[in-house]
Amino acid sequence: MNKPENSPLTQATALTVENLSFSYARKKALDQVSFSVNASQCTILLGPNGAGKSTLFSLITRLYDTRQGSITLCGFDVKKRTGQALSKLGVVFQQTTLDMDLTVMQNLRYHTALHGIGGKIAKKRIQEELERLKMYERRGERIRQLNGGHRRRVEIARALLHKPAVLLLDEPTVGLDIPSRHSIVEHVHALAAEHGLAILWATHLVDEIYPQDQLVVLHQGSIKQTGSLEQVIRKTNSQSIHEAFQQLTQDDRE
Binding interface with another protein (CB under 8 A) = 24-27, 55, 58, 61-65, 79, 82-87, 89, 91, 93, 95-99, 101-102, 106, 109-118
d(CA 22, CA 61): 14
Name the minimum Å distance from CB 89 to another protein.
7
Q: Which amino acid is at 111?
A: H
d(CA 217, CA 113): 36
**What is the CB-side half-sphere exposure of residue 29 using CA atoms within 13 A?**
19
Distance between start and end Cα atoms, the chain = 38
Q: 137 exposed, middle or buried (CB, 10 Å; 0-12, 13-18, 19+)?
A: exposed
Q: How far is CA 69 from CA 18, 73, 240, in A?
A: 6, 14, 33
d(CA 205, CA 220): 17
Q: Which is nearer to another protein, 67 or 235 (CB)?
A: 67
- Phi/psi for 130 (5° steps) reads -70, -40
Name the minimum Å distance from CB 115 to another protein.
6
H/E stretch holding 185 reads helix 178-195
